[in-house]
Structure 1
Amino acid sequence: MAHPIALAPMGGSAGGALAAAVSRGGGLGLLGAGSGDREWLARELPILAAGTGNPWGVGLLTWAIDIATVERVLDCNPRAVMLSFGDPSPFAERVRQAGAALIIQVTDLEEARRAVDLGADVIVAQGTESGGHGARNGRSTLPFVPVVVDLAAPVPVLAAGGIADGRGVAAALALGAAGALVGTRFQATAEALVDPSIATAIVAGRGQDTERSRVLDIARGSRWPAKYTARTLGHPYLDRWRGREAELAADHEARQAYQDDVARGEVPPLPVWAGEAVDLITDLPAAADLVATLAAQAEDALNRAGRR
C-alpha cells in the first residue's frame, strides 16, 4: 500500500472493479464478498484479479460463512482476508496457514482482545458512526480507536467509522492508527457496484438524516444478528416502525407489505447504507483518483496541524 487507506468490504457494493481501482490507486482494495455467494465471487473475483497487479483482499461476514467459504476465497490467493461481525475463531488459523494477512474488524474491547489472542495481523476498530452494520451499543470512533491501538500494540490498527475525507484519515493517524478503512465515501465512486440512485442519495445525504436501527433488517427478513444494527439514510419503514421492532418481527403481514412495496417501486430495493460523514461527499470520482485525493488531503491536514 502506498497510502494508509483501505476500502471497506461493503457487501455487494465493493465489487471487483471498485476493489481493483482502490488497489491500483495505492490503497488496499477489499472485495465485499459478504456470505461468499459462489456466483457473485465467480463474477467479481476475476474482475478484481485482472484489474490490478497490486495487493488486494476479500472481506467476509463471519456470522454468515463456513470453512468451505473461506477455502473458496483462499483458492484465489488474496493477500488479505478480513473477517467481520461474529466469532472469527473457526477461520483465523486457516487464513494464516494460507499465507494471507488476517484482518479482524472489532466493535468493542472484548472483540479486540479476542482478535489479539487469535493473532490478527491487522485489527479494524469500527466506531458507531460507520455506515451499514455495526454494534448496537458501539463507541464513537474518536475515543474507541486509541483504546484499541493501546490494547493491540504492536499489531497495527485501522480506524473505521465516519471517515470520508483526508482530514478523517489524518485524524486516524493522529489517534495512533496505521490508517483508515473507508466505506461510504467509496460507495459514491464511478466503480461502486450500486444502483445510480444510491450514489445520488449519498451525495445528497446529510449526517443528521442517518439512523442506526434494526427495523430494515427485520422488514427485509435479513438474518443479521441482533447485536449489529445498520446505519442508513431515512426510509419510510423507519418512520413507520421506529421503536416497534418486536412488533414488526411478529407481524408477518407487515413484512410482506414491505416486500410488496419494494416490488411496486414504492420503497427502494435496498436501504441506503451511509455513515455520519455523508455530508462530506459531494461528487462521484473515479476510485483510484479518490485514493490519491484522500492521501493528499491527509498530508495537508497533518502539515497544517504540525505548523500549529
Structure 2
Amino acid sequence: MALSTRFTELFGVQHPIALAPMGGSAGGALAAAVSRGGGFGMLGAANGDPEWLARELPLVAEAAGRPWGIGFLTWQIDVGAIERALEHQPRAVMLSFGDPSPFAERIRVSGTLLIIQVTDLEEANRAVGLGADVIVAQGTESGGHGARKGRSTLPFVPVVVDLAAPVPVLAAGGIADGRGLAAALALGAAGALLGTRFQATAEALVDPSTAEAIVEGRGEDTERNRVLDIARGSRWPSKYTARTLGNRYLDQWRGREAELAADPRARQEYQHDVAQGNLPSLPMWAGEAIDLITDLPSAADLVATLAVQAEDALDRAGRR
C-alpha cells in the first residue's frame, strides 16, 4: 500500500519522510539524496552563514525537479538569512527554536511553505496562529537540541495533531526505523522528521568517528545536558538542552553547570582538548533510538527502506 498523507500531497513527495535540518550535518548532498529517494530533504542552515550556503546550495540542486527545503535556528537568524534562502526557491522553510513571528509572513507571502517545529503546547498554539503549513511536534527523545521541560513523542504528538487540525503534523524524536514512522502515522501525524538516523548515512556531513559512535551506541548512552553548550560558549537559550552521547568532559561537569559557566579556565581546557583531538569538534548529537541504527547506507536507499518497513508494520498491525 502507498503511504499517501496530507504531507506527501502538499509537498509532492512519494514518502511521508523528512530530513531534519541538522546544523553541521544536513548539507546539500544529504538533502539531495533524501529528496531523490522520495522523501523531503532539508538543508540545516542553522544561522544562515552565507559561505556555508554558497557551498551547500549547489549540491542540493542535484535534486532538480524534486522538492527540497531549508531549516534555520530561529533564535540565531535575521531577515537577511531568510531573504538569501528564498532567492533559491526552496519548497519550504522550517523555523525551529525561538519566536518565528518576525519571519513567518515573509516566508508565506513568497509562496514558500512554512514549517514550524514546536516543543510544547505554547509553541504549538503560536505556530497555528502564524499560519504554519506544517507543524513538527518534537519529543524529548530527539537528538540535538530540544525543550528542557518537554514531553515524550508518544503523548505529545497526538495532542498537537488535535490542536493543529487540519494542519498536518510531522512527528519527531526517537524515530529511527519504519516502525517508528508507522507509529507516527497511527498517532495521527502526516509523517515523520528524522535526524539521528540520517546522520548515520553516506552523505551526512559528520566526522566518521561520529557516525561510528552512533552505530555502536545505545539509547542509554545519550543524555540531555547544557554542559557542552556552556563549554563551547554557545548562546543557546536555556530553555533548550541538547541530547548527546557522553564524553569525559560531560562526566566531569555534569550537575555543575553554574560552576562551569563561571570558570573561564575550564572552558579554555575544553577548547584545548578539541584542538588536540581529545574531544570531538562538535558534540555527538544523538537520539534515544540509536540502538536501531546499525549501518551507514545511502540516504536515498534509506528512505525507501523506511517506507517499506512502515508499510509492513502497518500491514501486520492491521492483520492483528
The interval holding the TM-score normalised by the smaller chain is: over 0.9
Aligned to 2:10: none
Aligned to 2:20: 8
Give secondary structure in 2 for the equivalent of 1:81.
strand
Aligned to 1:302: 314
Aligned to 1:275: 287
- State how far apart, in whole Å, the 2-side matches of 1:264 and 1:35 are: 27
Q: How does 1:1-308 map to 2 (within 5 A)?
A: 1-308=13-320
Q: Give the alignment's Cα RMSD to 1 decimal.
A: 0.6
- Number of aligned residue pairs: give it: 308
Distance apart, 1:236 and its partner CA: 1.1
How does the TM-score come out when normalised to structure 2?
0.96
Question: How high is the sequence identity, in percent, across the aligned residues?
Answer: 82
Give secondary structure in 2 for the equivalent of 1:203.
helix
> Which 5+ residue runs of structure 2 have no aligned equivalent?
1-12
| CA-to-aligned-CA distance 1:99-135 (integer Å, 9 cap, x gap) | 1100000000000000000000000000000000000
Give secondary structure in 1 for the equivalent of 2:241.
strand
Give secondary structure in 1 for the equivalent of 2:234.
coil
How does the TM-score come out when normalised to structure 1?
0.99
Give secondary structure in 2 for the equivalent of 1:292.
helix
Aligned to 2:6: none
Aligned to 2:9: none
Question: Does the CA contact (< 8 Å) of 1:24 and 1:53 recur in 2?
Answer: no
Distance apart, 1:50 and its partner CA: 2.6
**Off by >4 Å, runs of 4+ in structure 1:** none
> Which 5+ residue runs of structure 1 have no aligned equivalent?
none
- State how far apart, in whole Å, the 1-side matches of 2:162 and 2:62 are: 38
Distance apart, 1:268 and its partner CA: 1.2
Farther-moved stretch of structure 1 (235-244 vs 167-176) = 235-244
Question: Does the CA contact (< 8 Å) of 1:127 and 1:138 recur in 2?
Answer: yes
| CA-to-aligned-CA distance 1:22-64 (integer Å, 9 cap, x gap) | 0010000010000000000000001101344200000000000
